[in-house]
Structure 1
Amino acid sequence: MKSFKPALSGLLFLLVAATGCAGAPDENQVVDLEPAQEAAGSPTEEEATEPDEEEAPSAVEEEFGSEYTYADGLTVRLAGVERRVSGEWDMPESAPYVYFDIQFDNGTDAPVDLTYLAVYCQVGEEGRTAEDVYTDDTGTGFTSAVMGGRTATAGYGCALPEDESYLQVELTLSDWEEVDDYVRETVYFVGDVV
């Protein structure tokens, strides 16, 4: 009985293989097909990969004293850039730093939450990350929303050695209240501090 099973399974295999080939088309029945024509108005592969001109940039660069307006009407500017030295009760104390104001003008009809603003400084030609400086003037940054048609201002400070002048301030504002966690384009304010 044991020797009968392998023979039966081999016979079944040959039967299935022969049946599968029986329906194969004859060589004379095979027809060459032309490639499908692209539908009129459909984008080509090259056009589909081109960025949309209406799409917002992921990052923009502005000089000190200028401003940037996002697509929804919110405007940001960096003003009041000046050298200072931190005091005895500041952190870190007795350190040279640069002070600046970040100001948002809300030209939209809705409140914009500013609490998710990330601020990073780089200084010098090598672009070293600068330490934050906390004083009475710099405080804790933005702690709430700016209402439609209103302006909000907060002071910030970054360590800036006396022998360095170049400063880059990176601002990224995220609207985490939105369902898709919208992140606005990053704005870089750059320039020399005298």
Structure 2
Amino acid sequence: MSTLKPALTTTLSLALLALLSACSTTPDDSQIVGLEPSQSDDATVEEAAEDETPTSVEEEFGSEYVYTDDLTVRLTNLERRVSGEWDMPEDTPYVYFDIQFENGTGSPVDLSYLSVYCQIGEEGRTAEDVWTDDTGSGFTSTVMDGRTATAGYGCELPEDESYLQVELTLSDWEDLDDYMRETVYFVGDIA
């Protein structure tokens, strides 16, 4: 066994030396492969980015947003109010607004899966919902193609605050893929 070990070590050393010397030789011209630069250009990258639906959009009060399927949403009739004795919560300063959807999609759109959240002030504090006869229960059904649907909402807005952010997210749980449109943020100051 002691004579086998030096012979094996010598054989392995020679094989390793042959391998290293074969790898260190310079390849001839037939072995060099030229690499082409990538075929994508800036226009292709920009086009792909434009085709992607944004996950959120910010709009100023008084404007509207049109989703990629031609559903239009507006926030209108923003007005400061104070809730009454039978409202919840009562005697609370709040801002009233209408959310309006105009359906140009070519098919019905279920609005009952709309989520509405308000943030107020520079620190972005979550505002409490205000329930009155005018605010009702929001959207509870479908708007047909070519029709418009409007619902009133109210969010707490103390008299010393003016900045309001209204977040709207509309999901379509009727489709198997659980389609969710981009979130729209309507923002601005309330006089």
Assess same fold via TM > 0.5. Answer: yes
Q: Per the shorter chain, which TM-score range? A: 0.7 to 0.9
The percentage of aligned residue pairs carrying the same residue is 70
Aligned length: 187
Equivalences for 1:1-194 in 2 at 5 Å?
A: 34=33, 36-37=35-36, 42-43=39-40, 51-194=48-191
Deviation at 1:31, TM superposition (A): 8.3
Give the aligned residue type for 1:34.
V
Deviation at 1:63, TM superposition (A): 1.3
Q: Which residue of 2 aligns with 1:7?
A: none
> TM-score w.r.t. structure 2 length?
0.79
Change beyond 3 A, Cα 1:66–1:27: closer
> TM-score w.r.t. structure 1 length?
0.77
Give the aligned residue type for 2:122.
E
Deviation at 1:49, TM superposition (A): 6.6
Deviation at 1:55, TM superposition (A): 2.1
Structure 2, gaps ≥5 residues long: 1-21
Q: Distance in 2 between matches of 1:53 and 1:109?
A: 23
Give the aligned residue type for 2:69.
D
Cα distance per residue 1:7-41 (max 9 Å; x no partner): xxxxxxxxxxxxxxxxxx9988x9895365468xx
* CA RMSD, 1 decimal: 3.2
Cα distance per residue 1:111-152 (max 9 Å; x no partner): 011111111101111111101111111111110110000000
Q: Distance in 2 between matches of 1:129 and 1:27?
A: 68
